[in-house]
Amino acid sequence: MQFRDLRRQYCALKSDIDIAVSDVVSSGDYIMGSRVRELEKELADYVGTKHCISCASGTDALILALKVWGIGEGDAVFVPDFTFFATAEAVSSEGASPIFVDVDKDTFNIDPADLEEKIKLTVRNGELKPRVIVAVDLFGLPANYPAIRSIADRYGLFILEDGAQGFGGSLNGKRSCSFGDISTTSFFPAKPLGCYGDGGACFTDNDEWAALMDSYRMHGKSLSKYENVRIGMNSRLDTVQAAILQVKLKAFADELAAVNRVADEYSNLLYDIVKIPAIPEGFFSSRAQYTIRLNNEAERDDLQTYLKEQGIPSTVYYPTPLHRQPAYRNLGIPTSYCPVTDKLCETVLSLPMHPYLTQEDINSVCNAIKCFLK
């Protein structure tokens, strides 16, 4: 059994992917080819935004958004403490200061109450200017955007939706990657919509910001390619990755339904023995991960060892709160700064999850967990 079986997915789509890749290779149109523009249109239509600007990774997508808003030294950017490192790394790489916010223990997403608390503290402190809230759709579940939007409006902050894991999710019928003033996603192979290398995209309804992101991703070009009006990056999506994503986007609705069937089956079999992921009313998750919670660190670690002995892979997403990462040690953040995240890092375990997981696989995972906990 594989944690995320990308090869099985390739086999299911092989003939279309092989044709798409060989078309690009024989076309000679390798960078910013017509398929990149086609894909951007398809992605914007899917998400429901006016613009999609593709780029080289989900991390770059976050950086592009921050550049557009001129975020840098002296600016405070609020990020959840429980997420992949890149969420905060993008902020730091632009010279701004990430302010870590605790998360909700049931949804794993940024906690609006702690968010408001940390904004007030930052204002009172007076050293940094609050500018942006980065909300992450962790494990596929959209963050609590109604609450986050009302806080953002009250304090005059932008919302940057980090939808790297969220693509395909929705809230009251509105799709993920449309909730931020700018939203981003990643096409890293293991994400809900993955390519066969690195890739990412930004989404927005704002014409001016879209034009700026298009400039920043290509060395700060003006409309003329060899006139550079700002310092930018080299961050483009390869045409071959765009071609792969076009095929995978067509199969995406079926895969999204399949991962949700897998998740529902896990929940049916596990709800009375471990804490299962919560999907609040009105929310739909892209099920990037299926993450259970155990009672304590020893139980979690022993279960992981036991599963491994049974040939069942599992992963701890994430073992370390961002504020405890060695790269942020110099910030001198007090202990008990984000207690929920501390606890989650000790007790979470993500189970094998992909659209091609069989009922037999699901049964053997759940039986092993039951067997261990009895």
Residues within the interface to ligand PLP (CB under 6 A): 57-59, 83-84, 86-87, 136, 162, 164-165, 186, 188, 198, 200
Q: Is 183 exposed, middle or buried (0-12, 13-18, 19+ CB in 10 A)?
A: buried
Choice between 110 and 136, CB closer to ligand PLP: 136
What residues have CB less than 8 Å from 230, skipping those under 6 apart?
Answer: 215, 216, 220
Taking the complex as a whole, the smallest distance from the CB of residue 235 to ligand PLP amounts, in Å, to 10
Taking the complex as a whole, the smallest distance from the CB of residue 88 to ligand PLP amounts, in Å, to 9
Do 33 and 54 touch, CB atoms closer than 8 A?
Answer: no
Choice between 9 and 235, CB closer to ligand PLP: 235
Q: Please state, in angstroms and as integers, the Cα–Cα distance from residue 252 to each residue in 56, 240, 249, 279, 291, following that order.
A: 21, 18, 5, 21, 22
Taking the complex as a whole, the smallest distance from the CB of residue 47 to ligand PLP amounts, in Å, to 17
3-state secondary structure of 132: strand
Alpha carbon dihedral 356, 359, 361, 367, in 10-degree steps, equals 150
β-bridge mates for residue 170, sequence order: 175, 284
Choice between 60 and 181, CB closer to ligand PLP: 60
Taking the complex as a whole, the smallest distance from the CB of residue 289 to ligand PLP amounts, in Å, to 9
**Chain residue whose CB lies nearest ligand PLP:** 58
Choice between 139 and 252, CB closer to ligand PLP: 139
Choice between 338 and 368, CB closer to ligand PLP: 338
Listing DSSP states for 254-305 in one string gives HHHHHHHHHHHHHHHHHTTTSBPPP--TTEE---S-EEEE-SSHHHHHHHHH
Choice between 87 and 314, CB closer to ligand PLP: 87
Taking the complex as a whole, the smallest distance from the CB of residue 283 to ligand PLP amounts, in Å, to 17
Taking the complex as a whole, the smallest distance from the CB of residue 252 to ligand PLP amounts, in Å, to 17
